[in-house]
Amino acid sequence: MHASLAVILAAILLLVAVALIVVAVRRNGWRGTPASLRERVSIYVPISVCVSLAGVLLLSH
């Protein structure tokens, strides 16, 4: 993969992760935690996947 394309994709993934964090904070408050396991998985797994993929893309080029 071309280096600049990898950086662009990583930046997009990080922006998606930030958007998901904003949604989580709005839904649960700044210090609040999701009540159920299903809520935790639906919030934290996509964030960690986006950040992990962005890291892999940045480290692989």
pLDDT along the chain (61 residues), means of 10: 83 93 81 74 89 90 72
Q: What is the 3-state secondary structure (H, E, C) of 8-56?
A: HHHHHHHHHHHHHHHHHHHHHCCCCCCCCHHHHHHHHHHHHHHHHHHHH
Q: Which of 21, 12, 8 is nearest to 48 (CA)?
A: 21
Residue boundaries of the structural domains of the chain: 17-60
Instruction: Quote the pTM value.
Output: 0.78
